[in-house]
Structure 1
Amino acid sequence: MSKYQVDSNGFYGEFGGAFIPELLYPNIEELRDNYLEIEKSAEFQQEFKALLKDYVGRPTPLFLARRLSEKYGAQIYLKREDLCHTGAHKVNNTIGQIILAEKLGKKRIIAETGAGQHGVATATVCALKGLDCIVYMGEKDIERQAPNVARMKMLGAEVRPATSGSKTLKDATNEAMRDWINNPEDTHYIIGSVVGPHPYPDMVARYQSVISEEIKNQLEGLPDYVIACVGGGSNAMGAFYHFLDDEEVQLIGVEAAGWGVETDKTAATLSLGTPGVLHASRSIMMQDADGQVIEPHSISAGLDYPGIGPAHAWLKVSQRATYMAVTDQSALEAATEVSRLEGIIPALETAHAFSVLKDLNLKPTDKVVINLSGRGDKDMDTYMKELNLR
């Protein structure tokens, strides 16, 4: 087994596990005891692959971005997850989890969302399968991601605001976990990233690993770099997954520095965080000396999270991957550049990944794959305001 994959106890090195209240044990045990057997079954794989192909639109293209390549002096490829149904990579995971939920006999689905893409992807698969859907979303994120909130409601989901704390992703996750504790029998919680108690980080990574599996099939030889933005870390883990043991491939995760890592308006967990337990998993998180969560900030709702998936914490500590932090302003500049050079408006999350190109010492022979994790439709209000496009 790879030293970068989860062990039998649900840990990646020193990170991971399931630090859960007693009331959640039945839910987690049911998942842990069944997810691998269900996922490996021919019935699951047949439906999963068919829906990824005919519903999501996979495989997504690996596009050689010629003008970006010319500017940065390397061969830059874009993995076009923005072309997935619903506009982001999130649907890969919700397809997998909705099939799993059905196999477990669950009729009610809950989820948390920040940027709204996971909420839309969850509402989408619930509509497809005819299951009840409740999405928890921070009150602040509901305001800044209004188009995605409207999509969720049109798809039949109930959107419940989280009004405590910073009113963002962390608080939405808290509310979803409370719901799950109170409704263990009929409810499945579709976590949207590689966070939370085991088996979620491994389960979500497996469903997202289709990204790196396709990159390996689409690219001649191995890439020199694979780059992805990181909030909780699902699109990055999906892009990294099949390259973890290819040590010659440099894996780069890009976090949100917000106003700067030296300020108190940042979400750069791996730059500033320390080990701790957040949302039932031991990882690296932003916390004060008393262990209280430090509220994060990012212009991007999907990166506005004070923790990181335990697999990413282990990749950082083991030095298998490099993590960089990019400010709001740099992300906006990168979004403008990609839009004008390649005719692709990226999600604000994804724009962070593009921003590090200028900081790499690239050679003409280097093959660089950037996971273009989502499209920018949902962020147009922010772009209009920040870039004076009105």
Structure 2
Amino acid sequence: MSALKQLEEVYLDAINDPGFKKKFIELLDYAGRPTPLFFAKSLSDHLGGAKIYIKNEGLLHTGAHKLNNALGQSLLAQRMQKKTLIAETGAGQHGLATSTAAARSQMGCRVFMGEVDMKRQYPNVYNMKLLGTKVMAVKEGTRTLKDAVNAALKDWIEHLDDCHYIIGSALGPHPYPTIVRDFQSIIGREVKEQFNGLTGKLPDLIIACVGGGSNSLGIFHSFIDEDVKLIGVEAGGRGEEMGEHASRFLHPKIGIAQGYKSYFIQNEEGQLSQTHSISAGLDYGGISPELAYLHDQKRVEFMRATDQEALDAFKLLIKTEGVIPAMESSHAVAGAIRLAKNMPREKSMVVHISGRGDKDLFITAKHLDLKNWNEFLKQEIEEMSND
């Protein structure tokens, strides 16, 4: 509690400090902001419905929106004179972003990642190690994001004096949900300005994938008080049975875990249940408390996209627009495809591509090009053995 209180005090002081804001803007320039918003004409024509615009956060340095928050919190860590950054990660993008922020500020870094996620997102594991990060394999529980969060929290509690824990999603104990949302809100502010510049108005609908909630709240936040429909797409996985999906609102149940109150996927005893998604970043049993509130207020609507729908959307976006999305973002594309074709042409929507798909090479190749991929890996192993 003392560390959380210190973080809140430092954050409230920092956001009112022009010097802090200047440093943060400089870091966002380093990251490659603003990211582009463009009209996806080919996809729109293919579907024959609403005009689709894409906010491509995958062009941000490190390949996803996660860097916005990591850079902002690294500044807070320096303000608190911490020496080491700690993070949890599922898809690896938050871990990579934190590793990058640590290298940029010459701080130590430890990232906790479930053993299952390390295998399916190894390119990011490799890059984190290149940046000097100690990647800690979590072998307990389901060995995915939930367990990585538990391990990171435990490590932080043991090293409060010199470490700062950068939570990657808009969840966890206060003030983390607010801090993460605020650092990610640059996305929505850019969209509002960019869309108005292109069309002279606001979009009719904004759609984003929803794991913990950082990318969706990042783009939604500037539109909460506007007449814009907001849609969050959860991981529908392989089906509706427990353990086959990661949809918190399929059978909504309120609980308290990992320092916050929200909707969680729970078993009959109230414990967090096993989840599944083809995308590691959406494979999590809880959701941001702010998104839970917005759901209850009927301000944000939620839908599900299955693994297969995400793969189909992944392929269609590549073929029509030449954009390779992350599997997480492919869920948002799947939702957009379902909605856009039934909307009139004069309507418009923005789809948030929160990250790019190079990190998902091992996942997509397994599903879309297994034979050739296996042959390639066998050849590589043989050549490495010969060397």
Q: TM-score, normalised by structure 1?
A: 0.92
1:58 and 2:33 equivalent? yes
Task: Tell me by how many angstroms 1:68 deviates.
Answer: 1.0
Unaligned runs of 5+ in 1: 1-24
For residues 179 and 273 of structure 1, the distance between their equivalents in structure 2, rounded to whole angstroms, comes to 31
* SS of match in other structure, 2:268: coil
Alignment match, 1:374: 355
Counterparts of 1:241-320 in structure 2 under 5 Å? 241-246=221-226, 248-262=227-241, 264-320=243-299
For residues 367 and 150 of structure 2, the distance between their equivalents in structure 1, rounded to whole angstroms, comes to 30
For residues 30 and 323 of structure 1, the distance between their equivalents in structure 2, rounded to whole angstroms, comes to 35
Alignment match, 1:36: 12
* SS of match in other structure, 2:15: helix
Say whether the 8 Å CA contact 2:205–2:228 is kept in structure 1.
Answer: yes
Alignment match, 1:181: 157
For 1:140, give the aligned amino acid: V
Unaligned runs of 5+ in 2: 373-387
* SS of match in other structure, 1:269: coil
1:49 aligns with one of 13, 22, 25: 25
1:324 aligns with one of 278, 281, 303: 303
Task: Tell me by how many angstroms 1:77 deviates.
Answer: 0.7
For residues 337 and 212 of structure 1, the distance between their equivalents in structure 2, rounded to whole angstroms, comes to 25
Percent identity over the alignment is: 48
Alignment match, 1:8: none
Provide, for residues 203-228 of structure 1, a one-character-per-residue CA deviation record: whole Å limited to 9, x for no partner. 00000000000011101211101100
For residues 186 and 90 of structure 1, the distance between their equivalents in structure 2, rounded to whole angstroms, comes to 23
Distance change in 2, residues 1:48/1:231 (3 Å): same
Provide, for residues 181-203 of structure 1, a one-character-per-residue CA deviation record: whole Å limited to 9, x for no partner. 11111110000000100100000
Counterparts of 1:1-390 in structure 2 under 5 Å? 25-53=1-29, 55-72=30-47, 73-220=49-196, 221-246=201-226, 248-262=227-241, 264-360=243-339, 361-388=342-369, 390=372
For residues 335 and 143 of structure 1, the distance between their equivalents in structure 2, rounded to whole angstroms, comes to 21
Provide, for residues 40-84 of structure 1, a one-character-per-residue CA deviation record: whole Å limited to 9, x for no partner. 21011001111101x111011101111111123221111110000
For residues 270 and 312 of structure 1, the distance between their equivalents in structure 2, rounded to whole angstroms, comes to 11
Say whether the 8 Å CA contact 2:64–2:354 is kept in structure 1.
Answer: yes
For residues 362 and 138 of structure 1, the distance between their equivalents in structure 2, rounded to whole angstroms, comes to 40
Task: Tell me by how many angstroms 1:264 deviates.
Answer: 3.3
Say whether the 8 Å CA contact 1:39–1:100 is kept in structure 2.
Answer: no
Moved more, 187-196 or 69-78: 69-78
Task: Tell me by how many angstroms 1:263 deviates.
Answer: 5.3
Say whether the 8 Å CA contact 2:114–2:137 is kept in structure 1.
Answer: yes
For 2:191, give the aligned amino acid: I
Provide, for residues 114-154 of structure 1, a one-character-per-residue CA deviation record: whole Å limited to 9, x for no partner. 00000000000100000000000000001111100000000
Alignment match, 1:16: none
Task: Tell me by how many angstroms 1:273 deviates.
Answer: 3.1
Count of aligned positions: 364
* SS of match in other structure, 1:299: coil
Task: Tell me by how many angstroms 1:262 deviates.
Answer: 4.0
Task: Tell me by how many angstroms 1:178 deviates.
Answer: 0.3
For residues 382 and 170 of structure 1, the distance between their equivalents in structure 2, rounded to whole angstroms, comes to 20
For residues 254 and 359 of structure 1, the distance between their equivalents in structure 2, rounded to whole angstroms, comes to 11
Provide, for residues 228-275 of structure 1, a one-character-per-residue CA deviation record: whole Å limited to 9, x for no partner. 0000010000000100011x2000000001102245311011222300
* Larger Rg over CA atoms: 2
Alignment match, 2:384: none
Alignment match, 2:383: none
